Structure 1
Amino acid sequence: MASGPSSGHGVEIHLDEVSKRYPGQRESAVESVTMTIPAGETVVLVGPSGSGKTTTMRMINRLIEPTSGTITIAGQDVLGLDPDKLRREIGYSIQQAGLFPHMTVGENVGMVPSLVGWTKTRVAERVDEMLDLVGLEPGQYRSRYPRQLSGGQQQRVGVARALAANPPVLLMDEPFGAVDPITRGVLQDELMRLQADLGKTIVFVTHDFDEAVKLGDRIAVLGDRSRILQYDTPDAILANPADDTVAGFVGAGAALKQLTLRRVREIELGAVPTASADDSPAAFRDRIGSRRGAIGLVLDHRQRPLRWTTAREAGAVSSLARAGRPVEDSVSQASTLQDALEAILTDDDGVAVVTGSRGEYVGVVDIDTVMNTIKSLREEHADEAGGRVTPAGNSA
């Protein structure tokens, strides 16, 4: 590809009148799709089962060959490229991870770099780098087999494998659809964090509109045979659905969904006293103080959150590693305010810890901050509604 996968930066993808018709079928599975996927953005294809969204995505890396039309990546026609080489230059992550069961985690992650000729030393270094990137300790996980991992851990390995050769494009086919809701939210946060750091071009397929709003820079709402009903930013689709079908996808609670359009990094974070697990409990007790509701945060050697503790709890133990209670949930700077609100509501003290790109502590967010943001959003939308002209044929 023109910019080359060695750079790893996202590149533009363009589909022009792309169709797919299977032998013996009267109608095309995909009919004349034209769209541009901007470099470095996450574009989500959302639609009901059978709408052709997965078929459309798989034509990009030629797992399914188009019947007609043109697909270009970084200006190059993919139909003129060797399909095996093309697929090695495009990351691919699917539901239930698709890991090879007879290979270790390290062998799975290093498979594509090995195929494209990287040295063993470089592959080994990349495996550890990728596992660390997706939040799995290399020394603990690289020699395990997929059957020894949870569903969420397998999906993390799947994402690490897709990114291992530093491709500019990542295709994701409902990658989090087979895990429980809590794990799914964590994996979504991880993907947003990774994308903020890496800037890949991501094409993501889902049937879940809430997931599309959370993850997408742009959303393509697809109808029958991948007909594009609306292709726009999540904000624009929530504020003004193109037709009744799109409005049906948006569903109730559009105002609350606006919280998924605001990232934690966009708000001013609070802070709490922190200490290392090796620090003096008595000293930390004094730093937290006796103010009602005051809490502190114990961090590990990499500045990652370990435990919440009050002054009283800190003073009752010989080691801060046992003080208070574990940090059960956290949000990243790339997380949405919806995620932050959910974490706050499930926390005993009504506060969510915020972490950086490597899981390190960067601050906290509380309910007052989120409520003030909701108030501001309501005022913004009230102003917009006051000046909006309703399109003919649509209800306001």
Structure 2
Amino acid sequence: MSETIATASATAADGAVSGVEIQLEHVTKRYPGTRQPAVEDVTMTIPAGKIVILVGPSGCGKTTTMRMINRLIEPTSGKITIGGEDALKIDPDRLRRKVGYAIQQAGLFPHFTVAQNIAVVPGLLGWNKKKVAARVEEMLDLVGLDPEQFHDRYPRQLSGGQQQRVGVARALAADPPVLLMDEPFGAVDPITRGNLQDELLRLQSELHKTIVFVTHDFDEAVKLGDKIAVLGPQSSILQYDTPDAILANPADDTVAGFVGAGASLKQLTLQRVRDVELSQKTVTASADDTVEAVRQKLAERKANYALILDARRRPVRWVHARELRSASSLAGLGKPLTDSVSLQSTLQDALEAMLVEGGGVPVTGQRGEFAGMIEMDTVMATIQRLREEHTES
């Protein structure tokens, strides 16, 4: 494999792009015995370090198109380059070890532990045991799973969301410049799905990989994509543009059908929590604070609730002032946190969480630490502004 792909994948901890450009030129896939090709004459450029979403109805060829990039499906004709290197001239096994792949329901090896699953590709690449072990720990922490807690678990001992996080960790373990994701969050519940989407955006803000993501959910495409390719039959590209451009000016009636009603409200999906002002008025306390100290904080702020943070400053539960009256410590007190959003979340996510909570919700940062509260007034003001802008346009 050329140095182009092999060396371009250094982790982008400094904010640099670690992904590489992908080009598809007149790519076609025709299966024997079929009248029409599954994919016909697709040409597109996927920018380095960006998330490009392939969205379209079932059977349109979006998954086939994506799987030709790592040659899980061989193209019938055309050319695919990854970082300037002709993918069709690279040994398929070597190519796939340099292209991460995450699928629906994670696809973990059931008889391997979490650590063994993550270590598969580094092991195939000949990394030494010490380097592999360190990478496993790093990846678990990166996807928000405590290494001590999850290292030796088996997939059957994980929730669906945890399995997907391990699947993403495994796909990224060898630090590939390209990550292919085939409806990876389609089999989990809506809340978990939103959390996983936020996690992917957080990871991308650190790693800057080139990500090709297949979905049939246009809202997911708008939330995640730097660019969206809306595909029709045989992966014909109906529109390939930024989410805001597609929302504002659908190319034709078919694309408009994907956008659906309420396009102006969908603009909330383009607005991130990180882009609005967060409230810092919430009383917070660490789990080892004294009851008296928390009582005093609540009295000073004239507040009824305190948000308890763990040792890593992650929000874990709410405690009401009345629960402190007869308590000797904070251990076990309060109500577990039911919902939160991250800085990567959209304002639509925040609004949905607020409707469940009946008020503001905590916001978490890059490593799950408490960053502030987002309030209903903030979101409603943004909705009003977007409506006014849409009316004027």
Cα deviations by residue, 1:181-217 (Å, 9 ceiling, x for unpaired): 2221111111111111111111000111111111111
Q: Which residue pairs with 2:209 in the alignment?
A: 200
2:236 to 198, 203, 227: 227
Would you say 1:352 and 2:361 are equivalent positions? Answer: yes
Counterpart AA for 1:91: G
Alignment of 1:77-92 (within 5 A): 77-92=86-101
Q: Which residue pairs with 2:103 in the alignment?
A: 94
Q: Which residue pairs with 2:333 in the alignment?
A: 323
Alignment of 1:228-247 (within 5 A): 228-247=237-256
1:163 to 152, 168, 172: 172
1:305 to 287, 306, 315: 315
Following the alignment from structure 1 to structure 2, what is the Cα–Cα distance between the partners of residues 173 and 69? 22
Aligned-pair RMSD on alpha carbons? 1.5
2:276 to 245, 267, 277: 267
Would you say 1:7 and 2:10 are equivalent positions? Answer: yes
Following the alignment from structure 1 to structure 2, what is the Cα–Cα distance between the partners of residues 43 and 331? 23
Range with greater deviation from structure 2 (221-230 or 295-304): 295-304
Q: Which residue pairs with 2:114 in the alignment?
A: 105
Report if the CA contact (8 A) 2:8-2:20 is conserved.
no
Q: Which residue pairs with 1:42 in the alignment?
A: 51
Q: Which residue pairs with 1:392 in the alignment?
A: none
Matched residue SS, 2:331: helix
Following the alignment from structure 1 to structure 2, what is the Cα–Cα distance between the partners of residues 227 and 6? 30
Cα gap change, 1:6 to 1:291, in 2 (>3 Å): closer
Deviation at 1:157, TM superposition (A): 0.7
Counterpart AA for 1:312: R
Cα deviations by residue, 1:127-156 (Å, 9 ceiling, x for unpaired): 111111112111111111112212111111
Report if the CA contact (8 A) 1:220-1:231 is conserved.
yes
Report if the CA contact (8 A) 1:30-1:226 is conserved.
yes
Counterpart AA for 2:35: R
Range with greater deviation from structure 2 (103-112 or 126-135): 126-135
Would you say 1:251 and 2:260 are equivalent positions? Answer: yes
Q: Which residue pairs with 2:69 in the alignment?
A: 60
Identity of matched residues, %: 69
Following the alignment from structure 2 to structure 1, what is the Cα–Cα distance between the partners of residues 300 and 320? 9
Deviation at 1:292, TM superposition (A): 6.6
Q: Which residue pairs with 2:41 in the alignment?
A: 32
Q: Which residue pairs with 1:394 in the alignment?
A: none
Would you say 1:342 and 2:322 are equivalent positions? Answer: no
Report if the CA contact (8 A) 2:9-2:19 is conserved.
no
Following the alignment from structure 1 to structure 2, what is the Cα–Cα distance between the partners of residues 315 and 214? 44
Report if the CA contact (8 A) 1:298-1:321 is conserved.
no
Counterpart AA for 2:178: V
Deviation at 1:322, TM superposition (A): 2.8
Report if the CA contact (8 A) 2:114-2:152 is conserved.
yes
Following the alignment from structure 1 to structure 2, what is the Cα–Cα distance between the partners of residues 284 and 79? 63
Counterpart AA for 1:135: G
Matched residue SS, 1:185: helix
Deviation at 1:32, TM superposition (A): 0.6
Would you say 1:368 and 2:377 are equivalent positions? Answer: yes
- TM-score (normalised: structure 2): 0.94
Deviation at 1:293, TM superposition (A): 5.8
Matched residue SS, 2:313: coil
Following the alignment from structure 1 to structure 2, what is the Cα–Cα distance between the partners of residues 147 and 5? 35
Structure 1: state its 5+ residue gaps: 386-396
Following the alignment from structure 2 to structure 1, what is the Cα–Cα distance between the partners of residues 197 and 341? 11
Following the alignment from structure 1 to structure 2, what is the Cα–Cα distance between the partners of residues 84 and 206? 26
Q: Which residue pairs with 2:192 in the alignment?
A: 183
Following the alignment from structure 1 to structure 2, what is the Cα–Cα distance between the partners of residues 188 and 259? 15
Matched residue pairs, number?
A: 383
Deviation at 1:302, TM superposition (A): 0.7
Would you say 1:23 and 2:26 are equivalent positions? Answer: no
1:73 to 78, 82, 103: 82
Following the alignment from structure 1 to structure 2, what is the Cα–Cα distance between the partners of residues 232 and 173? 20
Counterpart AA for 1:158: G
Cα deviations by residue, 1:314-369 (Å, 9 ceiling, x for unpaired): 44422223333111111111111111111111114x11111111111111101011
Following the alignment from structure 1 to structure 2, what is the Cα–Cα distance between the partners of residues 61 and 368? 47
Would you say 1:115 and 2:118 are equivalent positions? Answer: no
Cα deviations by residue, 1:112-134 (Å, 9 ceiling, x for unpaired): 01111111011111111111111
Following the alignment from structure 2 to structure 1, what is the Cα–Cα distance between the partners of residues 354 and 319? 16
Following the alignment from structure 2 to structure 1, what is the Cα–Cα distance between the partners of residues 329 and 310? 13
Following the alignment from structure 1 to structure 2, what is the Cα–Cα distance between the partners of residues 111 and 13? 25
